[in-house]
Amino acid sequence: MTSSVAVLGTGIMGAGMARSLVKAGLDVTVWNRSADKARPLADDGAKVVADPTEAVSGADVVVTMLFDVDAVAEVMQRALAGTPEHAVWAQTSTVGLAGTQRLAELAGRYGRGYIDAPVLGTKQPAEQGKLIVLASGPRELAPRVEPVFEAIGSKTVWVGERVGDGHRLKLALNSWVLSITAATGQAIALARDLGVDPQLFLDTIAGGGTDSPYAQLKGKTMLADDFTPAFGLAGAVKDAELIVDALREAGDDPALMQAVQHLMSTAAAAGHADEDMAAVVYAFR
Ligand code: NAP
């Protein structure tokens, strides 16, 4: 039975996920490298600890939600030996295909179960327990992680039993999310720089066949000049690189994602790395 969950990483996503786990009645212990981001979770009912090894010591399920594969590997190399033998590692950070392989091998070295579980959805769905979990791994581990996935998500898609199937779908989904964000930025920049009101772009597509709720969401952010991060630009650059690698591995032309990666990197280098990825709109000037 799963009752105790450790969450390693309480950034934008991990903090919301930890709150959803507490709300579902699970015993939640959290750790974050910068303690100030974990501390407020004590008011929500989580146990906040100063060391990842302490966080995982009694965990039935360990959830990692850190920036990239190097961060996850660094933390779990320290923590894995301290997990109970029955513990299952649910890896929710976006780490790509090679990254997933590397982390699954790390879990295997310690004889711990590993479920690849990247998520779809940003800050608000994480806070509301409405993420979509893209799970893959041995089906016999499913009952152990399902209470966790039910708490953080509105839906779990079991993509397959191969390590990395969750990430295969996640990268396809993020290729769509990143492309539509960059395309929205391009349309807004083009309208603006040709001298028409860019709001008219969003108003004109609204409700029609070419409309998209995501274009409306990110377009509104761009026009309001409010780039409070929901999906940070630095993370989007990282994901674009992972998608380019996956396209190459699949034998597909990476040209579109390379262009998106270039635009997002340009905006990040211009000082917007910590802002929402909608700040890609700055790359067009
Ligand atoms: P975030 O707010 O930037 O949080 C990143 C977390 O990683 C923080 O806890 C940070 O710790 C930690 N970290 C970074 N480098 C570290 C290291 N070397 N050692 C230990 N901890 C380290 O990012 P996020 O948006 O929550 O994203 C987390 C993961 O979820 C990423 O893989 C991202 O791609 C994925 N994701 C994000 C979204 C989204 O919309 N935001 C959606 C789906 C998936 P500090 O606080 O100390 O810096």
Residue by residue, DSSP assigns 23-44 as: HTT-EEEEE-SSHHHHGGGGGG
Q: What gap in Å lies between CA 265 and CA 49, rounded to an integer?
A: 35
Mean pLDDT of the chain: 97
**234 pLDDT band (50/70/90 cuts)?**
very high
Cβ neighbours around 142 below 10 Å, total = 16
Distance 281 CA to ligand 1 centre (A): 23
Question: pLDDT at position 34, please?
Answer: 98
Q: Do residues 159 and 142 make contact, with C-beta atoms less than 8 angstroms apart?
A: no
168-174, long-range: CB < 8 A, 24+ apart: 168/97, 168/246, 169/134, 170/94, 170/118, 170/119, 170/120, 170/134, 171/96, 171/97, 171/239, 171/242, 171/243, 171/246, 173/120, 173/134, 174/94, 174/239, 174/243
Q: Do residues 150 and 156 make contact, with C-beta atoms less than 8 angstroms apart?
A: yes
Ligand 1 atom nearest 229 alpha carbon: 41
* Residues in the chain, overall count: 285
**Per-residue b or e along 212-251, where b marks 16 or more CB atoms closer than 10 Å to that residue's CB:** eeebeebbebbbeeebebbbbbbbbbbbbbbbbbbbeeee
Q: Is residue 92 pLDDT above 90, yes or no? A: yes
Of 8, 30, 36, 66, the residue with max ligand 1 atoms within 8 A of its CB, to mutate for a pocket test, comes to 66
Provide mean pLDDT across the span 181-191: 98
Distance 211 CA to ligand 1 centre (A): 30
Ligand 1 atom nearest 121 alpha carbon: 42
> Please, is 200 exposed, middle or buried when counting C-beta atoms within 10 Å of its C-beta (0-12, 13-18, 19+)?
exposed
Distance 207 CA to ligand 1 centre (A): 34
pLDDT 10s digits, 93-142: 999 999 999 999 999 999 999 999 999 999 999 999 999 999 999 999 99
Tokens of 261: 């990666």
Q: Is residue 1 pLDDT above 80, yes or no? A: no
Q: What gap in Å lies between CA 246 and CA 241, rounded to an integer?
A: 9
Q: Do residues 115 and 90 make contact, with C-beta atoms less than 8 angstroms apart?
A: yes
Q: Is residue 2 pLDDT above 90, yes or no? A: no
Residue with the smallest CA separation from ligand 1 atom 25 is 12
Of 67, 116, 218, the residue with max ligand 1 atoms within 8 A of its CB, to mutate for a pocket test, comes to 67
C-alpha neighbours within 13 Å on the C-beta side of residue 67 = 14
Domain boundaries, the chain: 4-162, 168-284
Q: What percent of the chain has pLDDT over 70?
A: 100
Fold of 168-284: N-(1-d-carboxylethyl)-l-norvaline Dehydrogenase; domain 2 (1.10.1040)
Distance 9 CA to ligand 1 centre (A): 7
Distance 62 CA to ligand 1 centre (A): 16
Ligand 1 atom nearest 95 alpha carbon: 32
Q: Is residue 20 pLDDT above 90, yes or no? A: yes
> E-assigned strands of 23-179?
27-31, 47-48, 61-64, 88-91, 113-116, 119-120, 131-136, 153-160
Cβ neighbours around 37 below 10 Å, total = 16
Of 7, 8, 10, 13, the residue with max ligand 1 atoms within 8 A of its CB, to mutate for a pocket test, comes to 13
**285 pLDDT band (50/70/90 cuts)?**
confident
pLDDT 10s digits, 250-277: 999 999 999 999 999 999 999 999 999 9
Q: Do residues 60 and 86 make contact, with C-beta atoms less than 8 angstroms apart?
A: yes
Distance 135 CA to ligand 1 centre (A): 19
The predicted model scores a pTM of: 0.96
Provide mean pLDDT across the span 229-245: 97
Q: Would you say the CATH fold of 168-284 matches that of 4-162? A: no
Question: pLDDT at position 225, please?
Answer: 96
Q: Is residue 240 pLDDT above 80, yes or no? A: yes
Distance 65 CA to ligand 1 centre (A): 6
What residues line ligand 1, using a CB cutoff of 6 Å?
9-14, 32-34, 37, 65-67, 71, 74-75, 93-94, 119, 122, 230-232, 235, 239
Say if domain 4-162 classifies as CATH 3.40.50.720.
yes
Provide mean pLDDT across the span 75-103: 98
Q: Is residue 50 pLDDT above 90, yes or no? A: yes
- Angle at which helices 165-193 and 213-224 cross, to 10°: 50
Question: DSSP secondary-structure letter at 58?
Answer: T
Residue with the smallest CA separation from ligand 1 atom 31 is 67
Question: pLDDT at position 189, please?
Answer: 98
- Between strands 113-116 and 47-48, the pairing is unpaired
Q: Is residue 154 pLDDT above 90, yes or no? A: yes
**163 pLDDT band (50/70/90 cuts)?**
confident
